[in-house]
Structure 1
């Protein structure tokens, strides 16, 4: 019996700087269209000055999306192939091509790179799967760098990760501040299931609410109106790596849940969206302390008066 194809792969070769521009454009156009970006990978070839580029689509590739990406990257006329791929765990397959990511004191890697653990760093094993956040994306890496920066002078004793995805940022906080309370929340139950699995992989505990129980609280919630989140407020540090629109819409709720002199890390926004997001928070008393820009993306570090 012929196996049914469930995805497509765009493949081609580009100079390194063009392959990096293509990866950035994929993220930018996906953000603009409000969709989850296809997984991309690029790697140097031994026998060529060009890099091999592969972009994996879970369904049949959208040619309009591809055209928009190529136009944004300045790659009109680029010769590539678009072929169906067999029914398999294509996200995990593409993850095998991704190198570990260093962000401050954190090293994020997939299970295929477990041998690259660094005893001098905080190691986080996160595989690609059904939730967002492997450390490779610029927004996740930028958030890790800001968490590391905060950790150089402060120990937030009550931290909230909104839109936790794979749980990578909550895990980073729990590893950096083992005595702190860490809560991870996501609107998607699958993300919470993935986070729960990643807790086990990274030798972290889940706090189920028992007396004197250690670990990370996991909560499925839409925004900050959830009773459990309200009971745990205020938070000394809130990290929200979501999208610019929700960050603006939720600004008052996020600030209300932030303790006096508490800190925020806001990401998931393009550099071009920075001023709009910043205005929504500065108008309500938040002050910008720092920002990390990576590619077309940025993460904001703010403090409440």
Structure 2
């Protein structure tokens, strides 16, 4: 195996989270893998980046918007011993608690607190391991809606990524019809793998679709999760409202706190109003109804 290189940045969570988002948006990806997670406190973070080849560190830091001279941010860089790279990359994916759910990797299966609903999701190409505030917030909303007495006959996870929200819905609403769609066929495949791993493969109908452009999405749902981005959320407002039953709820995320107003306006025009707002690490999670 060739030598891998590792950069670790620790400091305030906000700039590290923004750096991780820039890595996510970069094309081509400048690193082999990366993870950003809390480091002892909600406002403290750690960004772990692995490289297949030695990078130009100054150029990379500039690209992701980190200032190596900032005394609040500590940057450590060097080669990673071959025997350690898998262990260290897994250490960055600690279990994430969201309401009664715990999203975890296989390496943490034995460490799940009793009384929790465990969802096993490995880090992969699709979005949704629970470590991002939007996914965590949607899981918290799912838990809250079930506790409030929502009993959907049908649930849609629009832009399903890893399928974590569809899997959560299948766990708390065993009689519901669960549909999951994503524009990326690779995400649909991963949703199937994860659904099988969590014992709900026969409960989830997953397929590729661009927005609502699929025959199976020409239906009404009692609950719709849409963890995508602010722009697409606004573009899909009328279609999403049309697919929601009269008493249905939708959980929207993928938008920043400062984007709430624009998204709220689009959905108000479509006949939906915000009933609950969660803010996690600057990301907004909106629960809406008619």
- Conserved in 2, the CA contact under 8 Å of 1:96 and 1:110? no
- Cα distance in 2 for partners of 1:299, 1:116 equals 28
CA deviations on 1:215-243 (whole Å, 9 max, x unpaired) are 1111111110211221xx10111000011
1:182 aligns with 2:182: no
1:151 aligns with 2:146: yes
2:276 corresponding residue in structure 1? 290
CA deviations on 1:186-245 (whole Å, 9 max, x unpaired) are 111111111111112111123xxxxxxxx1111111110211221xx1011100001111
- Cα distance in 1 for partners of 2:117, 2:249 equals 22
- Cα distance in 2 for partners of 1:74, 1:104 equals 39
- Counterpart mapping for 1:128-277 below 5 A: 128-152=123-147, 153-206=149-202, 215-230=203-218, 233-277=219-263
2:34 corresponding residue in structure 1? 39
Higher mean C-alpha deviation, range 162-171 or range 93-102: 93-102
CA deviations on 1:248-272 (whole Å, 9 max, x unpaired) are 1111111111111211100011111
Unaligned runs of 5+ in 2: none
Change (3 A) 1:250 1:234: same
- Aligned residues: CA RMSD: 3.3
2:116 corresponding residue in structure 1? 121
**TM-score under structure 2 length normalisation:** 0.84
- Cα distance in 1 for partners of 2:108, 2:259 equals 35
- Cα distance in 2 for partners of 1:221, 1:63 equals 40
Q: CA deviation at 1:19?
A: 4.5
- Counterpart mapping for 1:12-91 below 5 A: 12=9, 14=10, 18-29=11-22, 39-41=34-36, 53-56=47-50, 66-67=61-62, 68-70=64-66, 75=70, 78=73, 80-83=75-78
**TM-score under structure 1 length normalisation:** 0.80
Q: Secondary structure at the match of 2:145?
A: helix
Q: CA deviation at 1:20?
A: 2.4
- Conserved in 2, the CA contact under 8 Å of 1:156 and 1:236? yes
- Cα distance in 2 for partners of 1:61, 1:270 equals 31
Higher mean C-alpha deviation, range 274-283 or range 61-70: 61-70
- Conserved in 2, the CA contact under 8 Å of 1:159 and 1:181? yes
1:10 corresponding residue in structure 2? 7
